[in-house]
Amino acid sequence: MGEILRETVSALEKEESSEEAQAQLDIWKYIFGFVEPAVVKCAIELGIAEAIENNGGPMTFSELSSTLGCDPSLLNRIMRFLTHRNIFKAIPTSTSTNHGYSYAQTPLSRRLMRNDKHSMAAFILLETSPVMLAPWHSLSACVLANGNTSFEKAHGQDVWKYAAENLDHSNLINDAMACHANLTVPAIIEDYSEVFDGINSLVDVGGGNGTAMSIVAKACSWIRAINFDLQHVIDKAPEIERVEHVAGDMFVQVPKADAAFIMAVLHDWGDEECIQILKKCREAIPKENGRVIIAEVVIEEGGNKERLKDTRLMLDMVMMAHTNLGKERTLKEWDHVIKMAGFSTYTVKSIKNIVNYVIMAFP
């Protein structure tokens, strides 16, 4: 018996010391974690990915620094940092004049180009903008006060009113959301095209600059697409073939269509507002065969360590910092708002490699 106890204690001690060792390594991530997005933002602003892409192939260091007009010793350190993370690939070269490397694109570095179909540049620029970083400084004050108003504390009004009065910031949000739509909508069409079956008209509620509907209109030529958003967003939206832009307030009325699509909007709002928006969506669609297609995060309960779960939990923190009552919801929380909005049934499907699920709610 004594032997078993000694073995158990020694196993626990070993586990504790390996956790200690791991913590000693992991803690640096929390001290310097902000450095990664900050340097990536710098790379986007410098246009490193575009320079290499425009070169049509790997670019020597001296070509890169002279094209960008950068201080070579500083750029060299930036490139060392980025290539260590597989953002650009360093290819050893023989001449001594080019710091020993040429640089090529990688799948990650291509996502830093502003005009690429996989671009996430605008999303990174939004999240690292002074406007979006400021609310993080009052997160603890807001949690202590039991109210999620970090953005209001920093800027005196909620994010949507702030955007309406600061059109540069509004454009940054719209461009960032277009990156999100470019990533998510093709994945939904590929993995779950049935959502659009039998629909002749579709309204995207809070559709931003219309990117989602432009993708749907191209892929499903039979669908008449409506992009619905606030007036200041619609005023700046580009003309898109076979997409009608409509301005309005989703809390008042949603344009009528066979189905409503609503992506990354409900998570900006608390449950009561969410129920109001869903009721307006329900009123906009036919009772028979109508549907609301909700593309949102579902927070999985339990301890699963799936990689996207971490991204979903981060998004939940972003909602806390950037909206008043917004949050990412568990299935139980979705069940509550969908039923309270008067829908009779719904289905839930996860989509491969993206953070959003598709919830289809039926009147």
Ligand X SMILES: C[S@@+](CC[C@H](N)C(=O)[O-])C[C@H]1O[C@@H](n2cnc3c(N)ncnc32)[C@H](O)[C@@H]1O
Distant-in-sequence, close-in-space partners of 117: CB < 8 Å, separation ≥ 6: 182
Alpha-carbon distance 263 to 179, whole Å?
Answer: 13
- Amino acid, res. 169: H
Report the candidate in 323, 318, 352, 354 with the shortest Cα–Cα distance to residue 37: 318
Interface with ligand X (CB under 6 A), residue from 90, 265, 266, 285: 265
Does the protein bind ligand X through residue 181 (CB under 6 A)?
yes
> Binding mask 154-173 vs ligand X (x if CB under 6 A, - otherwise)?
------x-------------
Known active-site residue 267? yes
Residue in 180, 245, 267, 322 annotated catalytic: 267
From 101-109, 235-243, 258-266, 334-342, span contacting ligand X (CB under 6 A): 258-266
Does the protein bind ligand X through residue 210 (CB under 6 A)?
no
CB of 289 to ligand X, least distance (A): 24
- Give the torsion through C-alpha atoms of 273, 275, 276, 281, to 10 deg: 130
Does the protein bind ligand X through residue 251 (CB under 6 A)?
yes
Interface with ligand X (CB under 6 A), residue from 263, 321, 354, 359: 263
- Helix axes 331-340 and 271-284, enclosed angle (nearest 10): 50
Does the protein bind ligand X through residue 355 (CB under 6 A)?
no
* In contact, 40 and 112? CB cutoff 8 Å: yes
Structure token pair of residue 5: 């106890």
Q: Tell me whether residue 135 or residue 206 sits nearer to ligand X (CB atom).
A: 206
Interface with ligand X (CB under 6 A), residue from 202, 264, 275, 337: 264
CB of 165 to ligand X, least distance (A): 13
| Phi, psi (rounded to 5 degrees) for 55 | -70, -20
- Give Cα 306 to chain centroid, integer Å: 17
Alpha-carbon distance 265 to 294, whole Å?
Answer: 9
Q: Tell me whether residue 259 or residue 264 sits nearer to ligand X (CB atom).
A: 264
Q: Which residues are catalytic?
A: 267
Point out which residues bind ligand X (CB under 6 A).
Answer: 160, 177, 180-181, 206-208, 212, 229-230, 233, 249-251, 263-265, 268
